[in-house]
A and B are shown apart, each in its own frame.
Chain A
Amino acid sequence: MNAVLETLLISSSDIQHSEGLELLNLRGDALPLRSLAAEFDLEESTPGAKRFAVVVGMGDLRVGLLVDRLDGQQDTVIKPIQGPIQGVRGIAGATELGDQNPVLVLDVSSLVEDTAHKKGSA
């Protein structure tokens, strides 16, 4: 994914707070963190001492998406999701990696945009 700038392994103690937002000091810049589980109303796994963040960017905006685990990197074709439901915000499509297991592909621009708005309204 060309939107991914880097991946980080962070410990809970690295996370700072400002106005209800979680921030990470990334080489002097404040990187807003966002839990993907919370964003999608999923049950959040109890954060261990170490967490993974995927730093994504759109234009000048940077967001660290907190995830449970990193599975790897793969080149693939993003397929649209077929069916009556016309698009879900935050999901760009899906793909299959050859094991019949569909993998959802995030729409980074809308996720970053949502974080920017949240920051503005906070």
Chain B
Amino acid sequence: MSESNLTAGEAQAWDALAREAASAGTEAAAIDEIRQLLAFELDGTAYAVPVEQVTEIVRMRPVTPVPRFPEDVLGVISLRGEIVELIDLRRRLGLAPTSPTRRSRIIVASNSAGEVAGMLVDSVREVLRIPSEAIRPAAGSESSAVEGLCAVGDQFVSMIELDRVLTVDA
């Protein structure tokens, strides 16, 4: 059947059906959306950041302190010749600072403005695949860096909002 044989009414009905199918598709996708999170540890607690914003994970390397930097920024590191700021995520989240160990890792990530920085964490655990509906909004204050919580086994993982961490307090 060629298109010209359709009556105006039939064409409209088909259009409506197509629209319905399309919107149902996106709804279903939203429900089934799996978020990939990189889980890491700070002070014995599990935290996570969206994998899409992580550029790489590297071991601890020489840090050059920079005068006049805020206290929770350790200094700068070199990533294949690129000079990148290194944030002490423990301090940034108000946890007690500690010296790096053999398990310490630097998670290099970018915020929504495209600014790249390293974050020092105690250790990196795994990549989690979490359905987005399993992520609950965090109970903390609006300004808290934790935007959500998800249960993995019997433990809660705190999701970090990178835009609130990879930023400078004026």
| A residues whose Cβ falls under 8 Å from a Cβ of B | 39-42, 79-86, 88-91, 93-96, 99-104
Q: What separation, in Å, do the CA atoms of A39 and B67 have in the docked complex?
A: 9
Q: Could you tell me if A85 and B73 are in contact, using CB atoms closer than 8 angstroms?
A: yes
28 A-B interface contacts by CB (under 8 A): A42-B67, A79-B81, A80-B83, A81-B66, A82-B82, A82-B83, A82-B115, A83-B73, A83-B115, A83-B116, A84-B113, A84-B117, A84-B166, A85-B69, A85-B70, A85-B85, A85-B168, A91-B68, A93-B83, A94-B64, A94-B83, A96-B83, A99-B62, A100-B61, A101-B64, A102-B64, A103-B64, A104-B64
Q: Could you tell me if B67 and A88 are in contact, using CB atoms closer than 8 angstroms?
A: yes
Q: Could you tell me if B76 and A94 are in contact, using CB atoms closer than 8 angstroms?
A: yes
Q: What separation, in Å, do the CA atoms of A85 and B82 have in the docked complex?
A: 15
Q: Could you tell me if A82 and B68 are in contact, using CB atoms closer than 8 angstroms?
A: no
Q: Could you tell me if A104 and B66 are in contact, using CB atoms closer than 8 angstroms?
A: yes
| B residues whose Cβ falls under 8 Å from a Cβ of A | 61-62, 64, 66-70, 73, 75-78, 81-85, 87, 111, 113, 115-117, 166-168
Q: What separation, in Å, do the CA atoms of A100 and B60 have in the docked complex?
A: 11
Chain A residue at minimum C-beta to C-beta distance from B62: A101
**Which chain B residues lie closer than 8 Å to A80 at the CB level?**
83
**Which chain A residues lie closer than 8 Å to B61 at the CB level?**
100
Q: What separation, in Å, do the CA atoms of A74 and B62 have in the docked complex?
A: 20
